[in-house]
Amino acid sequence: MNSSPASAQAEATSPSVVKTKPPFYKAMYFQVLLGIIAGVVVGHFWPTFAADLKPLGDAFIKLIKMIIGPVVFCTVVSGIAGMRDLKKVGRVGGKALLYFEVISTVSLIIGLIGGHLFNPGGGFNVDVNSLDASAVTGFAEKAQHMHMVEFLMGIIPSTFVQAFAEGNVLCILLVSVLFGCALSAMGAKGKPVYDIIEGLSGVFFRIVHIIAKLSAVGAFGAIAFTVGTYGVGALLPLMKLVGSFYILCALFVIVILGAVAKVCGFSILRFIAYIKEELLVVLGTSSSEVVLPQIMEKMERLGCSKPVVGLVIPTGYSFNLDGTNIYLTMAVLFIAQALNIELSLSQQLTLVVVAMLTSKGASGVSGAAFVMLTSTLMVVPVVPVAGMVLILGIHRFMGTGLAMTNLVGNGVAALVVSAWEKELDREKLAQELSIKK
């Protein structure tokens, strides 16, 4: 039906259609920030009570992890099936892995250089015989089983359902790629299945939006537990290491990823502002996995093609760990400096190569970054594994920084690969990043 010019004008000027900016207190980023501040206050003044709030953070993380598998499956399958060009799947995956390896190498080297510049372990003069290695025994046992062959075999689930039951993102990604390729090869016969998966995708993302409303509660519980259990005072003796680590992460994001973003045609600062809600959730929970569905959705809104997002983001959670890489090389140098162990240039280059491999091998393992560090020290035995006790107490604080850096790095990767494939909607990107939120 066609409306008259008068009615159209009346509708345009009607108050009901005028878009008004919602109050700031209704924005998720403000609520999450409030939850983090409240968590710090409760953790500092009522530490015993704060320690009991751990289930709030754990429950939120479990709710998000519950939905990650279906979201990744639907996104990847519908993306590949809609692509109708299986050669393109391999091309996108190859470009993503090439980008991951280049940026990962840069981040490892930056961690190494930063460790020398800041020298955070200098002056500790710790006697290795005085360290109690029993506290890291569990991590060492996990690390012994994390070799590249086991890692590659672990990507293949025993059954189709096992991938989803265990929540291993790489297993889910493998199953999704195979399913998507098979569905694409079926052509018109696969259309009914494709439509069902597209519909399910909308349902699962709606569930994500419902769960996301609990972000502030989850961040409050997680940060209250952390501060209440470890105390802000736990940071003081090792403040130099924590501070220099966060400075390095910030420099990596602003300088390295900023340069990549500039070449790609967008501002890294505007991108960070665009994903501020997700970053605040990661700040509160110390886990980037809890925002995987949200970051995938936002990257599509930014103009990245669905197939690229579906392949790059989940894969990046295992292969593009920029913050973790900085942590690995810097932590090894810190321990060596604290124990007065001199590492030769060849040993440091070996460290970079080993860390490149171990950073992939511990994917999906609980306490992954610490297990990666253990694996690295076991392969480079000149620095004793017992030295990890020195950073055990502050690992969670550093884990927050590395998780936030990983998140930004994976978002940038999706934009870069989309641009590389000439499937980045520049107009949508400019429009989204120009919105003041």
pLDDT score, position 11 = 41
- DSSP state for residue 84 in the 8-state scheme: -
Q: Identify the pLDDT of residue 10.
A: 43
Written as six digits, the tokens of 389 are 């006790």
Q: What is the pLDDT of residues 370-424, one digit of tens each?
A: 777 777 777 777 888 777 777 876 777 788 899 899 999 999 999 999 999 998 9
pLDDT, mean of residues 93-122: 91
**147 or 217: which carries more pLDDT confidence?**
217
Q: pLDDT digits over 322-356, tens only?
A: 999 999 999 899 989 988 888 888 888 888 888 88
Scan for tokens 């949508």, then name that residue.
Answer: 428
- If one compares 64 and 4, the residue with the highest pLDDT of the two is 64
- Cα gap 413→182, rounded to integer Å: 27
Cα 141 to its chain centre, rounded Å, is 25
Listed by start position, the domains of the chain span: 27-85+95-434
Q: Which residue has the tokens 């810190």?
A: 334
Q: Which one is predicted more confidently, 146 or 357?
A: 357
What span, in angstroms and rounded, lies between the C-alpha atoms of 412 and 85?
Answer: 25
More confident site: 268 or 314: 268
**Is residue 416 a contact partner of residue 260, using CB atoms and an 8 Å limit?**
yes
Averaged pLDDT for residues 145-158: 69
Amino acid at 264: C
pLDDT tens digits along 219-253: 888 888 878 877 766 566 678 888 999 999 999 99
424 phi, psi to nearest 5 deg: -105, 120
Q: For all residues of the chain together, what is the average pLDDT?
A: 82
Burial class (CB in 10 A: 0-12, 13-18, 19+), 202: exposed
The highest-level CATH class for domain 27-85+95-434 is mainly alpha
Q: What is the pLDDT of residue 113?
A: 93
